[in-house]
Amino acid sequence: MKIKLLSALVAVALSGAAFARPIDNATAVLTADNEFWLFTGNAAGSNLQMIGHGADWGTAYTFNFNVTAGDYLYVMAYDWGQPHAWQGVFTAPVGTIYTNANSWVASTTSSVDVNPTVIASAQWGAVGTDLSYDSGPWGGRVGNANAHWIWNSDMYSSDTRVLFRTANPVAAVPEPETYAMFLAGLGVLGTLRRRRQFN
Residues 66 and 108 both lie in one domain: yes
How many whole angstroms separate alpha carbon 45 and alpha carbon 84? 25
Give the count of domains, the chain: 2
What pLDDT is attached to residue 11? 44
Contacts of 48 (CB under 8 A, 6+ apart): 39, 40, 41, 74, 114, 115, 116, 119
Contacts of 25 (CB under 8 A, 6+ apart): 64, 66, 92, 93
Residues 65 and 94 both lie in one domain: yes
Residues 190 and 95 both lie in one domain: no
What pLDDT is attached to residue 1? 47
Residues 125 and 156 both lie in one domain: yes
Residues 30 and 97 both lie in one domain: yes
pTM listed for this prediction: 0.76
What pLDDT is attached to residue 174? 56
Residues 44 and 130 both lie in one domain: yes
Q: Cis link prior to 83 (omega < 30° from 0)?
A: yes
Residues 159 and 61 both lie in one domain: yes
What pLDDT is attached to residue 17? 39
- pLDDT tens digits for 95-150? 999 999 999 999 998 877 888 989 989 999 999 999 999 998 999 999 999 999 99
Contacts of 57 (CB under 8 A, 6+ apart): 31, 32, 33, 34, 138, 141
Which residues of the chain have a pLDDT value below 50? 1-20, 178-179
Residues 67 and 89 both lie in one domain: yes
Residues 39 and 121 both lie in one domain: yes
Structural domain including 76 reads 23-171
What pLDDT is attached to residue 183? 56
How many whole angstroms separate alpha carbon 49 and alpha carbon 39? 5
